[in-house]
């Protein structure tokens, strides 16, 4: 939550009237994204899976665990996508922009997007936390093989997506 809070603060700071503050905010969003958000999101996904497999809750025994798995997987995939596109592009544009033009054009659009994305990420994290605390839904009962395969496929896609990006083979990577 701290890393998302820091990112949200930087997203707000990107709208500062002082171009140096706005530029620094965009550049630091890239640093926080790569240095904190990405590793912590991977850690959350992996530790959640390991914990569920090693406890009485199980990975597919309770609806609340399945919902948390799906929400976390989607959030991690979205973060990787945004990090390799919007966040990286905003940092590049801020580094290249002339000081008076920071708040215009594509950079301003990205700033609005990053502000909305970070607010949504904080909301998703709060939702997952509330689900973990209150455990609102009961046992899944008989989980069909198709559901298990579907959830395993989603998890495998997220892991493959992460591995692809970490290996530098992402189709979204641009060399500047």
Q: Where are the domains of the chain?
A: 2-166
Residue-wise pLDDT for 40-61, tens only, equals: 999 999 999 999 889 988 888 8
d(CA 71, CA 74): 5
- Between 30-34, 53-57, 138-142, the lowest mean confidence (pLDDT) is in 138-142
Residue 165 has pLDDT above 80, yes or no: no
Q: Are 72 and 45 in contact (CB under 8 A)?
A: yes
Which residue reads 């596109």 in tokens?
Answer: 85
pTM of the model: 0.76
């Amino acid at each position: 939550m701290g890393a998302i809070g820091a990112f949200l603060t930087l997203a707000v700071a990107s709208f500062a009237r002082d171009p140096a503050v706005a530029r620094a905010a965009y550049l630091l969003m890239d640093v926080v994204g790569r240095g904190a958000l990405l590793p912590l999101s991977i850690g959350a996904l992996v530790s959640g899976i390991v914990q569920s497999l090693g406890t009485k809750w199980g990975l597919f025994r309770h609806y609340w665990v399945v919902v948390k798995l799906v929400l976390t997987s989607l959030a991690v995939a979205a973060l990787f996508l945004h990090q390799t596109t919007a966040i990286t592009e905003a940092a590049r544009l801020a580094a290249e922009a002339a000081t008076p033009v920071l708040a215009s054009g594509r950079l301003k659009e990205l700033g609005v997007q990053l502000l909305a994305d970070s607010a949504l990420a904080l909301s998703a994290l709060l939702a997952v936390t509330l689900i973990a605390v209150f455990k609102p839904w009961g046992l899944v009962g008989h989980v069909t093989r198709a559901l298990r395969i579907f959830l395993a496929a989603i998890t495998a896609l997220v892991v493959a997506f992460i591995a692809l990006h970490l290996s530098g083979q992402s189709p979204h990577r641009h060399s500047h």
